[in-house]
Every structure is written in C-alpha cells, then in structure tokens.
Structure 1
C-alpha cells in the first residue's frame, strides 16, 4: 500500500506518527518499503514473510475487540463518568 492510502485507512493517525510506526515495522523486519524514482517519489509498503505470520494473531484480536465492543464502550463511559 502507498503511504497516503494507509493514512486514509487509519483514522486519526498523524503523518508523523504513521511515518514513525512504518519505520519501526521496517526495522523489525515486518514490512518492506519500496521507493520508485518518480516525481514525487512513490513509496509502497508490503508485508514481509515475518509480517504475514502476524495476520492470524491480529485477526483474532480484531474479532475479540469487535465481539466485545459494547462492553468496552460501557466500561469507558463508566470510567469517564467517574472522572468527571
């Protein structure tokens, strides 16, 4: 994916934070950054084999969060109300 596509898909993330996260993921060997010599430079990110090993774990976590979203939101409302 290209940088701007990632930024569009990840709501609320700043350009600076996304750039830092991508650099860390590249350093960890999870993603590959490919720059193409265009004007301006085109940069694409893809999963490396190590990164693909996380797909199942992340999918499970996403499923858990979606299943428990109403409980999480209720807990957040209770917490926020107690701090007001």
Structure 2
C-alpha cells in the first residue's frame, strides 16, 4: 500500500485543498502538523528542500505542494503512484 505523508499548517488554504483532494480520491494519508513545531518544520525542509506547506510525499518520494499534486492528478500520475489503495 502506498504511504502518503503531508506536512501542513492549520491556517494554510492549500493544505486544506490538498487534504480534500486526497480525501475525495479516498486516499489515506498521514498528516504531519508543523504549527509551532520547529523540529518538524526542519524535518520537512530537509526532506523537501522547500519552506512552504503543504509538502507531500508518496512512498517517501517528494511530490511537492498543492499545485504539484493537482498536476500529478490531472495527468493520471496520482492514480499510477497509488494503484493499490
């Protein structure tokens, strides 16, 4: 089963949209809330090379943010990366 991780902040509208997209496709994900958690934010930056949220990983592969997730879904890549869910 594919493992989806998403780093988020509560006040981020793109985080809410990314979670809604994954939920609409019935894809389970692990949400990593970084609000006020410096260590988790640093972990996200180290893994992704980016400082913005959301940051999304599928099977430890960095997908990117919300726009990247949408692009992946539009071209069918999201279904390809998560076929067994």
TM-score (norm 1): 0.28
Larger relative helix fraction: 1
TM-score (norm 2): 0.27
Query: Which structure has more RCO (C-alpha within 8 Å, separation ≥ 6)?
Result: 2
Larger relative strand fraction: 2
